Structure 1
Amino acid sequence: MARIAVLGAGMGAMAAAARLAVAGHRVTVYERTKTYGGAVRRLTREGFGFDTGPGLLHLPAVYRDLFVKTGKEPLERSVELTQVDPASRHVFADGTAVSLPNASRAGVVAALDEALGRGAGERWAAFLNRARDAWDRSRRPLLEEPLPADTAPFARDPYPAPRTGLLRRTATSLTEVGRRELGDARLAALLDGYALAYGLDPAAAPPSAAVLPYMEQTFGTWYVAGGLRALADAVYERCLARRVEFVFGTPVTGVVERDGRAAGVELAGGRTAEADHVVAGAPVPALYRDHVVAWERQDAWPRHQTGVASGRVTVCLALRGAREEGAAHRTVVHSTDPAGERAALAGGGPPCARPTVVVLRPGDPALLPDGDHEAVTVTAAVPAGDAGRTGDPWGDAAAVEAFADRMVEAAGAAVPGLRERLLWREVRTPAHTEAETGSRIVPGPALAGAGGAFLPAANPAPLPGLYFAGGWAHPGGGLAHAGMSGALVAGLVVEGADFRGSR
């Protein structure tokens, strides 16, 4: 039985903790805040409840596997999962709207043809076929296996360029893929929206980001009854059932190094907790910034994705009046200035005047004071900013409220009578994300291409005995990806360097 110290109680860290406990190890999780879940939080007020992190689940198989491997019982015994149908409704800049069915390629083609004109669905289907090729080429090495020491093969993009006459024209970004291959500005906006949902600048994201819409439209979109926080509750309870110990309100101030390997953690107040292995679920850049980890050659330590530096603004809306019959659970209201939105993300701020917003209307009674009200969340990908620099876009309260006003105005395209129904709102910026997770940035998923700029830190750190889990580690950000990172770290600790990935 090994002693394992885990830094942080995020979803990836808890997934690793539960698996390691089942393998017979003594696991203690040290969390600097008062609760678990990382970015998977809930805001409650006056009987309303809001998911302030992710609101929908993709690839639920990741958490089904976690629950089977840590208790031989289905995930659905702990949480109620329902497929969201339609998976999403989209409102484009010209006012055109389309609802896309859940996990139905034929249904998506038909819906796009009806809303955008004959041929739109066929062009989207041809794009998804190429995205499927990219998925098949990259799925296992980028999701199910540890990142190899030589990442050079991942520098090449797996997305296949379509043939134009006798030539194949290679795009350099997801936005360029949309412009060249989809033949309609609305389809291009649809594609960009999938990148923005992960906090990616579509003009910087490599063509391989095409796997994101492919993944969602192939494997479906799911909602957890009670909100996504209920999933965090279930994972936490599973950890407790496997005798994982949690110590909340306890920052880790250092990793103990002895004989060239990690040997424990230093805690606030000067106490040291000995350990045979250390799993760091905290943001990797925070480990550098706060000097939690000692190193002799700084250049030897991994650098997280250079292509991701965006955060998220969430506006929680308490509304009078019930959700109307047939309302879409998720509506994406696309920006009227996509070029300005991309420029703002690329330049680091200030945010554009009219961003793409995602409006979630779950209609879940567990999140409402009664049936005569509705809880709605509106989110946008934004420049993360920096609290230590002049011009931080989230340091000016008036500017924050003005931006939230523009988000709510855009959300009116998804919620009838929004302004008249509004009781109150709460605005959460990247500064709130930093307080809860240690970083303003919402890490994106691992992607091949772009010279390796979108590869996160490998799970094993250069210091033996130290491992990285969660959204800042391989295979990157997103709820499903974080769960995968926990499985990879557990495999590496249990099986050592011979571990070759999930089966």
Structure 2
Amino acid sequence: MGRIAVIGAGMGAMAAAARLAVAGHRVVVYERAATYGGAVRRFERDGFTFDTGPGLLPLPAVYRDLFVKTGKEPLEACVELVQVDPSSRHVFAEGTEVDLPNASRAGVVTALDEALGAGAGARWGDFLVRAREAWDRTRRPLLEEPLWPNWSVLAEREPYPSVPHKKLLRTRRATTLAEVGAWELRDPRLTALLESHALAHGLDPRVAPASAAVLPYMEHAFGTWYVRGGIRELARAVYERCVARRVEFVFGAEVTGIVEKDGRATGVELADGEVADADFVVAGVAPGALDTLVPGTALRGGDEIAPQRGAPSRLTVLLALRGGRPEGVAHRTVVHAADRTEELDRLFGERPGFSSSPTVTVSRPDDPALAPGAEHEAVTLSVTVPSGLSVSEADVEGVLGVAERAIPGLRDRLLWHEVRTPADFAEETAADGGAVPAPALAAADGGLLHASNTTRMPGLFVVGGWAHPGGGLPHAGMSGALVSGLIVEGPQFRGSQ
């Protein structure tokens, strides 16, 4: 078997490394930082512990499969998974609140009817049925198979079966997520609920394809899960599985170039001048970082999918609170923007900036390990913001003001707070402006597809959120499986069956 150099120790890169090591390859991971996990990091201070990246795990089957395929211990033997219920609480602009049960269509329908009025639940339930059809049509090509050579089929075909909408003498079908909300859900609160799923992934619902309906469907169908101790524990478990499979990690090792011979990748060059030979190179880095490693453009382009360059980032505010976590508090509360149009214009308009009243996601895990004692609580606030945005203290104060709608008396309880800006995400991930990649979606002329895991340079593969099938914890794990299959089985690999 061959020698494989992996650049970066993000979740997708580690998933690929573990699978390749089990297949008999000698795998060495070179990570410029002092730790593993990529964007899945942890911040600790005064006995408080916070996830600074993703806080919840959708579609845990991806990592269950990774652990089954790479060892005898299943995922649940390495981390404790907890199904979050309610899945989320939503606080709408006009003050209505609703708790949505986890993975229960009947429960969600009932909750929406009680909170928003009769008929609201049925409209959302019918939407989920159509979203499932979109999921069934796109699951394999978007998540389980290498990117098709004829990817344009995915780009042109809208898989969401929208309901015909009559307006004057014309009949139209929704092509964007915003149109799905306006024409099929017909309630500004249901529309806000739908669009919040796109916003959480940095997508503008006004232009995101109707196929983005799969995002709320995935959460509904497969549940929302928390890893006891924080998502960083999942990164630890994957790292330890790699080590158990004899993957070698070299931290503090910055790769400055990919060695090429006769047009093929044959190793990596490190900042200290060392050259590590390899039969294959797997790069788990953002496109801008890869540009500096390879002369010319190695990623697919032209008539193929070019790498995505640019996406919104995240502002994360970590709160250390006096007073314990009250009973009945939801793990995740989404406080919706008072003015969604203003928020979207500030996020995606020609002059990006910070919204005066953004959508804020409040994370309050029921996990004693995160606070120094029962008399304290660790809370995380997350906001989607333009990449590269400079965040002021006034911006942070605005976020705290919005969060008070979910945490009454917040400022009286506040011991201290830490702010993680797009610049911090850029430092951790080397993504331009701290951009966070979105998952791949069909339609939209291919604008939300990601570059193939193979490249124009034989022997060089790309993995992680900036490659097919895109961003998010499940998608990172899937990219690792795809890259492993392409290396082990060759170009004929067609994904898991």
| TM beyond 0.5 | yes
What SS does structure 1 have at the residue aligned with 2:293?
coil
Partners of 1:411 and 1:247 lie apart in 2 by: 41
Partners of 2:103 and 2:487 lie apart in 1 by: 36
Of 366, 371, 376, 2:374 maps to: 371
1:84 CA drift (Å): 0.2
User: Residue 157 of structure 1 aligns with which residue?
Assistant: 158
Q: Could you tell me which amino acid in structure 1 is paired with residue 468 of structure 2?
A: H
Partners of 1:227 and 1:311 lie apart in 2 by: 21
Partners of 2:139 and 2:298 lie apart in 1 by: 33
What SS does structure 2 have at the residue aligned with 1:497?
coil
Q: Compared with structure 1, are the counterparts of its residues 182 and 302 closer, same or farther at alpha carbon in structure 2 (3 Å cutoff)? A: closer
Of 403, 416, 420, 2:408 maps to: 416
What SS does structure 1 have at the residue aligned with 2:392?
helix
What SS does structure 2 have at the residue aligned with 1:425?
strand
The answer to whether the aligner puts 1:429 opposite 2:432 as a matched pair is: no
User: Residue 438 of structure 1 aligns with which residue?
Assistant: 430
Partners of 2:408 and 2:247 lie apart in 1 by: 46
What SS does structure 1 have at the residue aligned with 2:128?
helix
What SS does structure 1 have at the residue aligned with 2:29?
strand
Q: Deviations 1:441-473 (Å, cap 9, x if unpaired)?
A: 100000001100001111011111111100011
Partners of 1:296 and 1:98 lie apart in 2 by: 48
Q: 1:125-274 counterparts in 2 under 5 A?
A: 125-155=125-155, 156-164=157-165, 169-274=172-277
Q: Could you tell me which amino acid in structure 1 is paired with residue 46 of structure 2?
A: E
1:161 CA drift (Å): 1.8
1:326 CA drift (Å): 1.0
Q: 1:67-78 counterparts in 2 under 5 A?
A: 67-78=67-78
Q: Compared with structure 1, are the counterparts of its residues 292 and 195 closer, same or farther at alpha carbon in structure 2 (3 Å cutoff)? A: same
Q: Deviations 1:85-122 (Å, cap 9, x if unpaired)?
A: 00000000000000000000000000000000000001
Partners of 1:164 and 1:201 lie apart in 2 by: 22
1:362 CA drift (Å): 0.3
Partners of 2:211 and 2:103 lie apart in 1 by: 20
The answer to whether the aligner puts 1:477 opposite 2:471 as a matched pair is: yes
Contact 2:317 2:418 in 1 (8 A): yes
Q: Could you tell me which amino acid in structure 1 is paired with residue 87 of structure 2?
A: A
Q: Could you tell me which amino acid in structure 2 is paired with residue 434 of structure 1?
A: A
Q: Compared with structure 1, are the counterparts of its residues 137 and 39 closer, same or farther at alpha carbon in structure 2 (3 Å cutoff)? A: same
User: Residue 343 of structure 1 aligns with which residue?
Assistant: 345
Q: In the comparison of the two structures, how many residue pairs are matched?
A: 489
Partners of 1:451 and 1:302 lie apart in 2 by: 11
1:413 CA drift (Å): 1.3
Contact 1:89 1:330 in 2 (8 A): yes
The answer to whether the aligner puts 1:278 opposite 2:270 as a matched pair is: no
Partners of 2:273 and 2:246 lie apart in 1 by: 26
Partners of 2:402 and 2:217 lie apart in 1 by: 27
Partners of 2:61 and 2:101 lie apart in 1 by: 20
Of 315, 321, 326, 2:328 maps to: 326
1:295 CA drift (Å): 2.9
User: Residue 294 of structure 2 aligns with which residue?
Assistant: 293
Q: Deviations 1:289-326 (Å, cap 9, x if unpaired)?
A: xx2112378855852236x6100000000000001011
Partners of 1:430 and 1:201 lie apart in 2 by: 18
Q: Could you tell me which amino acid in structure 1 is paired with residue 393 of structure 2?
A: E
Partners of 1:441 and 1:297 lie apart in 2 by: 21
User: Residue 396 of structure 2 aligns with which residue?
Assistant: 404
* Structure 1 unmatched ranges of 5 or more: 386-392
Partners of 1:174 and 1:260 lie apart in 2 by: 43
Contact 2:298 2:455 in 1 (8 A): no
Contact 1:162 1:168 in 2 (8 A): no
Partners of 1:167 and 1:69 lie apart in 2 by: 53
Of 486, 489, 498, 2:483 maps to: 489
Partners of 2:225 and 2:340 lie apart in 1 by: 28
User: Residue 463 of structure 1 aligns with which residue?
Assistant: 457
The answer to whether the aligner puts 1:3 opposite 2:3 as a matched pair is: yes
Q: Could you tell me which amino acid in structure 1 is paired with residue 176 of structure 2?
A: S
Contact 1:363 1:375 in 2 (8 A): no
User: Residue 383 of structure 1 aligns with which residue?
Assistant: 386
Partners of 2:161 and 2:171 lie apart in 1 by: 9
The answer to whether the aligner puts 1:499 opposite 2:493 as a matched pair is: yes
The answer to whether the aligner puts 1:44 opposite 2:44 as a matched pair is: yes
Contact 1:262 1:464 in 2 (8 A): yes
User: Residue 315 of structure 2 aligns with which residue?
Assistant: 313
Q: Could you tell me which amino acid in structure 1 is paired with residue 214 of structure 2?
A: V
Contact 1:161 1:168 in 2 (8 A): no
Contact 2:450 2:468 in 1 (8 A): yes
Contact 1:265 1:275 in 2 (8 A): yes
Partners of 2:91 and 2:138 lie apart in 1 by: 31
Contact 2:84 2:331 in 1 (8 A): yes
Partners of 1:449 and 1:500 lie apart in 2 by: 22
Cα RMSD (Å) of the superposition?
A: 1.5
User: Residue 79 of structure 1 aligns with which residue?
Assistant: 79
Q: What TM-score do the two structures reach when normalised by structure 1?
A: 0.95
Contact 1:253 1:267 in 2 (8 A): yes
Bigger drift between 159-168 and 416-425 goes to 159-168
1:287 CA drift (Å): 1.2
- Determine what percentage of the aligned residue pairs are the same residue: 65
Q: What TM-score do the two structures reach when normalised by structure 2?
A: 0.96
